[in-house]
Amino acid sequence: MIASLHGKLQARTGDALIVNVGGVGFCVRVTTNTLANLGAIGSEVQLFTHLRVREDELSLYGFATEDELRLFETLLTVSGVGPKVALGLLSATTPETLRLALAQGNIEMLTTFPGIGKKTAQRLVLELKGKLDVSGLGELGELAPVDEDVVNALINLGYSAAEATRAARTVPSEVKTVEERVRVALQYLGE
């Protein structure tokens, strides 16, 4: 199994990278977060990888952190969730936000992610119950109902679930109405 790659970034293509390791170019599918955080073409990169072996295909998936890799592999244990859906989930949000949404059973938030319908969200919550490491997430706390409305409004405006959740958490508790909370969250996002 290929557990990690360390080499030069040779090319970027859509959702994949070509990493040259000792003269061999490996095509590695990555999350948008990993893609955005890597250096320029020609720079040294290190990726933690998951090799998917199928009858007619070998696919390599790469992650900037071991935490992302572990969460990806955990998501693959859910029936009906393949690498494309798991990669999409990790591209749409941070591992912490995804873990929190799964641990809290936040079906509404999960269905905002690409490729996740209500049934898949329910299956994710059910099958991953107790399997996720949520230590250290306690300080994030559960979103108040008014903040869930703020998150949904921001998602409808085109922000990712991770951005919307982060922005909703920054709004002071003195701000009471949903409209005012959305306005303050938009200021945080630079609108």
69-95 pLDDT per residue, tens: 999 999 999 998 999 999 999 988 888
Say how many C-beta atoms besides its own lie within 10 A of residue 173's C-beta. 8
The closest alpha carbon to 155, from 115, 190, 121, 108, belongs to 108
40-57 pLDDT per residue, tens: 899 999 999 999 999 998
The closest alpha carbon to 126, from 79, 165, 90, belongs to 79
**What's the chain's average pLDDT?**
84
Q: What is the pLDDT of residue 180?
A: 86
Q: What is the pLDDT of residue 28?
A: 95
Q: What is the pLDDT of residue 58?
A: 92
175-189 pLDDT per residue, tens: 778 888 888 888 877
Distance (Å, whole) CA 164 – CA 161 = 5
Give residues with Cβ within 8 angstroms of 188, minimum separation 6: 167, 170, 171
| Domains of the chain, start order | 4-63 (2.40.50.140), 66-128 (1.10.150.20), 143-188 (1.10.8)
